[in-house]
A = this chain, B = another copy of it.
């Protein structure tokens, strides 16, 4: 058989999946990345995870047509090089060559994680059946990617789509990138938690004050804000409305410049679901021309598997299969 491997690597964990030639996920495995051990260690670990997956399905490397891998950070997908990854502490690692070598010459194709996620949702998830799919991940940060009829949009230096890093008028929180008021400081899991905590510190009434008394409030997460929302908590409702309205400002620009048929929203903060999407949609529609208002806004369907399946689908397309 012709099998494909999809690899989703993050700062914390690596997930490897084995897929058949119809891109059905047959089996997957997960291990801690151990990034502090260096790129060589991590790539050898991935090779061993792939060999283990194959063994369990009674396959060998000969059965694998291609490997796809989604990396955090900046990637040159043409040369297969991880240009820079803050999470992995990688700089200019020739991933395709190194991992391909460890696997005895199997072709390895890489791209950044939000592109692989978007590719996966477009091929097999919430973007299935749409020609122009925009993917957005709301995790610790925000990123976006665009696939038009199966082709990713890259721009110069493969740098297009850093939706999280445009400062918003009137906002001032320090962003990890060094700028202030970036969309990512608000419309992300980190942003939701930060805004809730700041308002709790100012003494605003909320069920979260009871759940996290005193200094405990520093542990409040985006998921806690969703739980409070479900109790009808006014602060939680207001925080998610505020975040939704700001997310709408960024999406308005992305929809206007990219013109997608569907926006697929994933990542940890997307677990807030309609609590966040309902106020976002309400704020979005008056910010885009009527001709864009038919755009579908959907939650990701594949969740944890989008990166693995997207990477495998990307590898299959790049391998010309």
A residues within 8 Å of B by Cβ?
74, 131-132, 144, 148, 153-163, 165-170, 177-179, 249-250, 252-254, 256-261, 286-292, 295
Contact = CB atoms under 8 A, between A and B. Distances in A.
B156 A153 contact: no
Given A131-B156, A177-B289, 4 more contacts: A158-B259, A165-B289, A166-B252, A179-B287
A161 B148 CA distance: 15
Contact of A169 (B158, B162, B168, B288): B168
B156 A256 contact: no
Contact of A159 (B162, B168, B291): B291
Contacts of A250: 253
A259 B157 contact: yes
Contacts of A160: 256-259
Given A167-B287, A286-B179, A159 B292 contact: yes
A257 to B, nearest CB: 5
A74 B292 CA distance: 13
**Copies of chain A in the complex:** 2
Contacts of A165: 256, 288-289
8 closest Cβ contacts across the A-B interface? A155-B259, A253-B253, A160-B259, A132-B156, A159-B259, A156-B261, A169-B169, A156-B259
A74 B289 CA distance: 13
A163 B258 CA distance: 10
Nearest to A259: B155
Given A148-B155, A168-B169, A169-B249, A163 B289 contact: no
A167 B169 CA distance: 12
A166 B256 contact: yes
